[in-house]
Structure 1
Amino acid sequence: MIPSAEYGFWLLAAVNAALFIGFAYSFARPLEARDWRSFGAFSAFIVALFAEMYGFPLTIYLLAGWLQTRWPGVNWFSHDSGHLLEMIAGPGVNPHFGPFHLISTALILLGFWLIAAAWPVLYRAARSGRLATAGPYARIRHPQYAGFILITTGFLLQWPTLITLAMYPVLVVMYLRLAAREDASAAERFGAEHAAWARSVPAWIPTWRRAASGPAASR
């Protein structure tokens, strides 16, 4: 039996999901159909996350027997217990101040910062019909997709659920494929300029080398 005081806050779940989705949209407004597909998948991940965080803890409900057997001293239907990694492998402090939660917060903030920093560069580039090579694009070729991966990774560390665990690799593969398609499209459109940029700027993991100089413009 799930204590009513701990879950069932569907309005809170909806508000939080809307806030995070709206916040992400404000920094990464989809430009093309593939952008809308990736943003839709990200939104589904966020909705599934907050539905379990504040609505109904499906993962805890399904794993309750196993969890109670392994860690009998934990009230698994308390809200804090939804921080599964903190409860199972954390140091036993308040889960909001444990290492998994702190790393999660850092990843989420870094992801949103990366998306926010990349968007105006990409927008100006798209309007002028040029290759985006300034800002975050001077360090990695796909900062917006990297940002979304960082955000979903952060949320997974903070509040893992069976549904988001299943969705996470699908999202990562989708972003990798979208990035590959964007590289191919940009290579066809910008030719030697893209080739020079791609040689000096890694796709995902930044280096301290300065990127090849080039105009700040589109994908």
Structure 2
Amino acid sequence: MEKAEGKKRWWVVLVFYFLIAFEIFYMVSPFALYYYSVYGKGLDLLNSSLVTKWLASFFLPHIVVETKSHWLDMHNYIGGILAAAGFLVFLCGAAQIYYHKFTGRGAVTGGIYNHIRHPQYAALAVSGFGMLLLWPRYLVLITYTAMLFAYYFLARAEERECLAKFGESYNDYKGRTGMFLPVRINLPDRLRSFPKSGALRYLSLAAVFLTVTAAGIGAANWQKNYALDNMYILYARDSAYISLSEVESGQLRRITDLALSDESVRSRVIKKGPDSRFISYVLPADWYVAEIPMNDIEGRGHYSPGGYNRSLYKIVFTRTELNTQEDVQGKEIILRASGLTPLVEVTVDLESNKVTEIKDTPERIRYENVPTPVF
């Protein structure tokens, strides 16, 4: 029975990481539309309520490529390294366990287990944090926090099983190793006043979980504001112009003014009414990002090559759906955005100082009605 329960616990952990990795993979693959026809319904449900819209939103840049912050520019690379490294350590731990199981060598206490009692859970925590950096939805953050709590209780349950099976030898091993870190921190000794059983224990655990989750959401909100403060953005009363690449503020204003100098462009935007709010994306003319409602490049999800022409840009104007009834301006337009309706796509040439192309937005948007990153 204990072995069966252990297997069930492992399946829950692995399914969680599979789902996150699955979303990342499909968002950058040609099969994304088919995947989101099923998975997207759950996100649509969250996005349909003003109370839960924020859960499907992102707190770190996903479509913006260049910012004023090295951390923001590198977080995807850091996330990828952590996700891969954690998974490799997880495999190493699994290899040790199955080697001992097949050879009948008893409890695993050597190798990485000589320093950490639960390196597989520690590795999954690291890998999960990497995935969170790669796919920073608030929903993933909350689920990841729940998984960290699950790791602790799964580890405690496994330790009880090992004590029952291996006795004093495992107790000695437990006394000289750390649970998840090479440094031994005896958490139960530090929480002697924590209720041992009964309803009060579960209420206390719920309170701790909610406190940690709230702290995580607060940190994510801080990161979101930090990101917006370090991106290349031009704000107006009713608009936010987000540049995906590095650009000086004066040049960004020149790009947007040049696009709006065309009467046909201006009429498409202004006719939406004085109460409308807009988020427009400025990017080099040969770049493409699938999450922006723009004319696509066949077979590509993201295309942002270096060495781009710094005098040729395109702007995708969109009208913004907000998750509030309040009159918002400036940065709040981005913070309160929950959906985008494409209006027009414009290409400008700074050298010739003119609009070179105006395109209607596509009738079918790749991720239409799917909550995607705003920045």
TM-score with structure 2 length normalisation? Answer: 0.37
Q: Is the 8 A contact 2:59 2:138 kept in 1?
A: no
Q: RMSD over aligned Cα, in angstroms?
A: 3.8
Kindly tell me: are residues 177 and 90 of structure 1, through their superposed partners in 2, closer, same or farther at Cα, counting changes over 3 Å?
farther
Q: State how 1:32-181 maps to structure 2 within 5 Å.
A: 32-51=7-26, 55=32, 85-86=60-61, 92=67, 98-127=73-102, 128=104, 130-181=106-157
In the alignment of these two chains, the number of paired residues is 160
Partners of 1:46 and 1:39 in 2: CA distance? 11
Distance in 2, Cα, partners of 1:96 & 1:123: 39
Greater RCO (CA < 8 Å, at least 6 residues apart): 1
Query: How far has the Cα of 1:52 moved from its partner?
Result: 5.2
Letter in 2 for 1:158: L
CA drift at 1:33: 2.8
The change in CA–CA distance for 1:207 and 1:164 in structure 2 (over 3 A counts) is: same
Whole-Å separation in 1 of the counterparts to 2:97 and 2:8: 16
Q: Distance in 1 between matches of 2:19 and 2:62?
A: 26
Letter in 1 for 2:108: A
Partner SS, residue 92 of structure 1: coil
Structure 2: stretches of 5+ with no match in the other structure = 1-5, 48-56, 185-375
Q: Which residue matches 1:205? A: 181
Greater CA drift, 106-115 or 190-199: 106-115
CA distance in 1, matches of 2:172, 2:66: 48
Q: Which has the higher strand share?
A: 2
Quick one: distance in 1 between partners of 2:75 and 2:133? Answer: 6
Q: What secondary structure is seen at the aligned counterpart in 1 of 2:117? A: coil
Once residues 158 and 38 of structure 1 are traced to their aligned partners in structure 2, the CA distance between those partners, rounded to angstroms, is 19
Cα distance in 1 for residues equivalent to 2:180 and 2:112: 11
- Give the superposition deviation at 1:120: 1.5
Distance 1:205 1:103 in 2: 20
Counterpart secondary structure, 2:181: coil
SS of equivalent to 1:85? coil
**More helix per residue: 1 or 2?**
1
Return closer, same or farther for 1:165/1:133 CA change in 2, 3 Å cut-off: same
Show CA shifts across 1:58-97 (max 9, x none).
69x95xxxxxxxxxxxxxxxxxxx9852469997179998
Percent sequence identity is 22
Task: Name the aligned partner's letter for residue 93 of structure 2.
Answer: A
Q: Deviations over 1:110-164 (max 9, x none)?
A: 2022112111110022231611011111111111111111111101112212332
Report the 3-state secondary structure (helix = DSSP H, G, I; strand = E; otherwise coil) of the residue aligned with 1:32.
helix
